[in-house]
Chain A
Amino acid sequence: MDNRVATRYAQSLFDVASQQNIVSAISDDLNAITTALNADPRFKTFLENPSMNREGKLKLMESVFSDRVTALTMQLFRLLLDKRRESLIGLVAEDFDRLRRAASNILFAQVVSAQPLTESEQKAIVSKLETSSKQKVEATFDTEESLLGGVKVHLGNSVMDGTVRGSLNRLRDKLLYDILKQA
């Protein structure tokens, strides 16, 4: 239910931003806000607390973001606070990015590695993905120690697994397949 509502807000925001040609700026705003929310759980708790005064929330948001984000983004904040949908801000940001990428024919890649990648490695991976897919690629980079080593990329519906964990899993699947085939 929340997803559908968030998608509708995101679609409206994207339509207006497209008309004003500020899609990229709005995307940056939303990313900055979600980063701030994720970085400080107290800020997120305050914003999503239903017992808190709406005016107080708006004042805080304006004091923190009014000189950093566009007027349209602030308008979205006000609307969400009016409708008591402030908890959807993260989902709206995700959907907006999805719409922006779809409109610009950009692929989204989630890159997970066992150890943090250097900037050159990140660029090289994005470049490789762009070359291979013949599309522009935007990527997020995360680390997951349980992968043991290597890189795994989720691109659309595809997964490219170059991790040790993936190799071990494939080996395990092969062994199990052979064992069950023998049985």
Chain B
Amino acid sequence: MAQETKSSGSTTIFGIIIGIALMCGGAYLHSIHAFQSIEGPLESAGVPLQIGTTISVAGVFLILFPVINAFFISPLMTAINDRNRELENTFSEAEGLRKEMADMKAAYEKRIGDTEAEAREKIQAQLKEAQELRTQLMSDAAAAKEHLISQAQEEITREKDKIMTELRVEVANLALGATEKLIGVNVTNDTNKKLVQEFIEKAEVPSK
């Protein structure tokens, strides 16, 4: 960098020297009309070119160039460079962000994929569980149904037996009632005496 500055300084000085030489040389050449043979035809052709003055102006330019360079070109170059760097940085940041976004997108997609897989697994597990629960519930319901049917059948059988028993008892009572009435009508004095006689013959006092 220091070497570059030193080189730049020597170039500037060399330029100034050249500029002075050109300015002086040009002014001298103009004063002696050294280029009259060229300038005359050009002027008559409509091109008013003064070569000596032009050389002097070029020399002045070379002398003023460091100043122009110092006050205009260098800041402009710096600004352009800064701008370029800024743009580069922006592009770099943008690239980084893009990459980061791509990474994030990839991670997000992976996460979505994982989530979807996990959700699928969970759904499958829930479906399986629901299926098992359904099977269990169906089995329980079937068992309960069987139990209820069995209970109902037992109850029906019990009720049937009970009604049959009641019916038989009722029939027996009716038969006995009818028998009693028949006997009541048919027991005569003689029959009663016979029964008393029979009792007297057969009666035995139970042993203590």
Contact (Cβ within 8 A) A164 B168: no
With contact pairs A121-B196, A183-B164 given, residues A149 and B187 touching in the complex (Cβ less than 8 Å): yes
Do B198 and A162 touch across chains, with their CB atoms under 8 A apart?
yes
Query: Are B192's CB and A115's CB within 8 A?
Result: yes
Contact with B along A143-163 (1 / 0, CB 8 A): 000001111010100101011
Asked whether any CB of chain A lies closer than 8 Å to the CB of B31, the reply is no
Tell whether A124 pairs with B200 under 8 Å between CB atoms, given A149-B187, A164-B187, A183-B164: yes
| Segment at the interface with A among B35-43, B79-87, B175-183 | B175-183
Count of chain B residues with Cβ under 8 Å from any Cβ of A? 28
Check if B46 is an interface residue, CB within 8 A of chain A. Answer: no
With A128-B203, A129-B205, A164-B183 as contacts: A113 and B196 at CB distance below 8 Å: yes
Provide the bound-state CA to CA distance between A65 and B189, in Å: 40
Identify whether the interface residues of B are mostly helix, strand, loop, or mixed: helix
Instruction: For A179, list chain B residues within 8 Å (CB).
Output: 165, 168-169, 172
Binds B, one of A28-36, A84-92, A170-178: A170-178
Chain B residues closer than 8 Å to A148, beta-carbon distance: 180, 183-184, 187
Within 8 A of A (CB), among B53-73: none
Question: Contact partner of A172 among B172, B195, B198, CB < 8 A?
Answer: B172
Q: A150-B196, A175-B176 are in contact. Are A158 and B202 (CB under 8 A)?
A: no
- Inter-chain contacts of A168 with B (CB < 8 A): 176, 179-180, 183
- Tell me whether A133 is interfacial, beta carbon within 8 Å: yes
* Residues of the A chain whose Cβ atoms lie less than 8 Å from the Cβ of B204: 132, 160
Question: How many angstroms from the CA of A183 to the CA of B167 in the assembled complex?
Answer: 11
A80 at the interface (CB under 8 A from B): no
Q: Distance (Å) between the CB of B37 and the closest chain A CB?
A: 161
Q: Pick the contact of B205 from A155, A175, A183 — CB < 8 Å?
A: A155
- CB-defined A-B contacts under 8 Å, sample of 22: A115-B189, A121-B196, A121-B200, A125-B203, A128-B200, A129-B203, A132-B205, A148-B183, A149-B183, A149-B195, A150-B195, A151-B196, A160-B205, A162-B196, A162-B198, A168-B180, A176-B169, A179-B169, A180-B165, A182-B165, A182-B168, A183-B165
Residues of B within 8 A of A (CB): 161-162, 164-165, 168-169, 172-173, 176, 179-180, 183-184, 187, 189, 191-193, 195-196, 198-200, 202-206
